[in-house]
Amino acid sequence: MIEEVVLLDGKNQPAGTMDKALVHTGQTPLHLAFSCYIHNDRGEILLTRRALSKVAWPGVWTNSVCGHPLPGESLRAAVCRRCQYELGLYVEQITSLVDEFQYRATDASGIVENEFCPIFAAFTCQPPVPRASEVMDYQWVKPEDLLNSVRATPWAFSPWMVLQLGQITQENLSLLG
């Protein structure tokens, strides 16, 4: 089955679709995505390390889950689908943190990410069961420890997470802890 991503025009409006397997190249078109930070009842945020088999940023530590909504799928439904697929987690309390986040970044291999990427928080009380093709490692961390680590070593994390943490307000960050 071909998984498609939603392409966007210059006003971030749907402008077609493209096979996900073909979209991430050195000339990646602007497309719709999301990022989600999952928190637990201990006030910790789930960080994941991307599998080495990932096309872009393999082996890099990042937020809990990222993905692309399917054509016609709501962002919240996409968050639930990808949390289940990548981490084996059912999430609840899905909350929007930043509605309009957009970034473009190029990894060491030349692969470009070019995404309009709203940011969400979600809650789970389950332990992750990562899918090896998506996630090679994970760690629950306190929000303040995450912020301190990103400030000290931004190169050790995905560029989108570094940028996102700069845009998530302290009020919204408190939703995670």
Active site residues: 66, 115
* Number of Cβ atoms within 10 Å of the Cβ of 127: 12
- Counting DSSP H helices and E strands in the chain, the numbers are 5, 12
Quote the CA–CA distance of 167 and 117 in Å, as a whole number.
12
- The label of the residue with tokens 């992750």 reads 128
Closest CA to 132 of 10, 48, 31: 48
Q: CB of 10 within 8 A of CB of 27?
A: no
Q: CB of 23 within 8 A of CB of 29?
A: yes
